Copies of this chain bind each other. A is one copy, B any other.
Amino acid sequence: MPVGNATFPPMHPVPGFRLGTASAGIKKPGRKDLVIMAFDQGASVAACFTRNAFCAAPVQVGKAHLRDGADIRYLVTNTGNANAGTGEGGLADARRVCEALAGLAGCDAAQILPYSTGVIGEPLPVDKILAALPAALAALTENGWDDAGLGIMTTDTRPKGASLRVEIAGKPVTLTGIAKGAGMIKPNMATMLGYVATDARVDNALLQEMLGRAVERSFNRITIDGDTSTNDAVTLVATGASGVAIGPGERDDFQRALDQLCRALAQAIVRDGEGATKFVTIDVAGGATSGECLAVAYAVAESPLVKTALFASDPNWGRILAAIGRAGLADLDVAGVSVHLGDVLIADKGGRAPGYTEAAGQAVMDEEEITIRIHLGRGSAHETVWTTDLSHDYVTINAEYRT
């Protein structure tokens, strides 16, 4: 049960960036589960990968290919199998997929980045993937975003996309992206798969720097269950087809658009979080450092007691105070801390706010979208994190589905 009635938005094609989707029958026959993305020589590519030490084979291969400085030409993604926890055999499997695609497409295997998502610990069904590569290549089109959005899903209940047209240096530039993810979501970098393309021209170093910033403010600020996946990756491709070059004079405009796009995709993942019935914004201000704002935000966002109270629409502010109190801040003066539910001041000076009424708190908790605002009263740092509640459906989904 996702939060809200989000529809897949109209997706502006990105000149020079094509997508092809096919069914390889990896987990379910007939399900779209293989996506190829292609772009011409000269495009710039930036990527952020999971920091999980048990990172999946495709992540290891993809990082090596990017490090080699190869001119990346293709991204290939399968769902239904994560190719993670598969040891040396998994690395060989990921390389076999790249080599087969390179053979069909007439490029080098090192010019391909592989991605996998799905069950951990099962051998990748390489033969099924190789058999479906020609169909995915044949389907390549600049209008392939909708099918690709479906083709990268696992426990997602709906595809997630965002698309922007902005003007930079007086000319139109397009940014379009898709993402998947519903569980094992605690980004560090980003616990999901995300693909963003733009027709701006940006050199690799600047592209990587700007992607890093955007991810830090979007995918790295969401948590569903505190579990960082083994397979996360966000990739940004700049085809340059618009002829708009991003230099020092244009980078702020481009960064703003990229931030907006990544935030929309990250929030779409939270709204579709496993078992989610609430979309929760946790806004922590007044910290001495960003780090302590995040420590408090995540302590609240990941507290099973806060999350079950959110599921019950219970304005249980005592659990919020308890989570703040255990976030590990040195010498926190609780008398300086205030907590708002929406616009309602519920707690200050270490206890319930004098004017607070249960009815006012209940009205906020009854909403599907809830903001918890915490002021720590000891500095000027500010951070925002997005999360969901913890419902019976989360337990059901994860007691039945094998990641």
> Which residues from chain A sit less than 8 Å from chain B, CB to CB?
51-55, 82, 84-90, 119-121, 183-184, 186, 188, 225-230, 302-305, 308-309, 311-312, 314, 316-319, 321-327, 329, 332, 334, 347, 349-352, 390-392, 394-396, 398-400, 402-403
Contacts and interface: CB of A to CB of B under 8 A. Distances in A.
21 contacts: A53-B326, A54-B324, A85-B317, A85-B351, A85-B352, A86-B351, A87-B352, A90-B351, A121-B321, A227-B319, A227-B322, A227-B323, A229-B322, A230-B322, A304-B390, A304-B394, A308-B394, A311-B395, A314-B399, A318-B403, A319-B403
A326 B398 contact: no
A316 B225 CA distance: 17
B352 A321 contact: no
Contacts of A53: 324-327, 329, 332, 334
Count this chain's copies in the assembly. 2
A347 B84 CA distance: 12
A227 B84 contact: no
A119 B322 CA distance: 12
Nearest to A191: B326
A352 B314 contact: no
Residue in A55, A229, A321 with the greatest tally of chain B CB atoms within 10 Å: A321
Nearest to A329: B53
A389 to B, nearest CB: 9
B55 A325 contact: yes
Given A52-B326, A305-B227, A351-B89, A321 B399 contact: no
A225 B403 contact: no
A352 B122 CA distance: 9
Given A55-B325, A312-B400, A226 B121 contact: no
Contact of A120 (B51, B52, B230, B318): B318
A353 to B, nearest CB: 10
A131 to B, nearest CB: 25
A190 to B, nearest CB: 13
A226 B119 contact: no
Contacts of A317: 85, 121
Given A326-B228, A403-B316, A87 B349 contact: yes
